[in-house]
């Protein structure tokens, strides 16, 4: 699990673990191997979404979607 406020590089995305609309949404947001990301906040109630920054954009991802993304700390 990537600590908050720590930059990382996406090393892999398990596209086969994602539903087609979720995978398409990730691609539209710019998620792909080699992209820099940063976790901003994790909702603690009911395992809520994860807010992360990709480029200059902040997006919220479901935990199941975030779990399909593998990163390496920058």
Query: In this structure, are residues 11 and 20 in contact, taking their beta carbons and an 8 Å threshold?
Result: no
CB atoms within 10 A of CB 72: 10
Query: In this structure, are residues 8 and 38 in contact, taking their beta carbons and an 8 Å threshold?
Result: yes
44 vs 60 pLDDT, higher one: 60
DSSP state of 2: P
Residue 45 confidence (pLDDT): 76
Residue 54's pLDDT band, with cuts at 50, 70 and 90, is very high
Q: What is the DSSP string of 31-50?
A: --TT-EEEEEEE--GGG--E
Mean pLDDT across 8-27:
94
């Amino acid at each position: 699990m990537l600590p908050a406020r720590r930059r990382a590089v996406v090393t892999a995305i398990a596209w086969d673990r994602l539903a087609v609309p979720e995978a398409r949404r990730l691609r539209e947001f710019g998620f792909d191997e080699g992209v820099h990301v940063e976790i901003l906040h994790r909702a603690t109630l009911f395992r809520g979404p994860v807010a992360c920054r990709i480029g200059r954009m902040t997006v919220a991802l479901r935990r199941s979607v975030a779990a399909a993304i593998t990163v390496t700390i920058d």
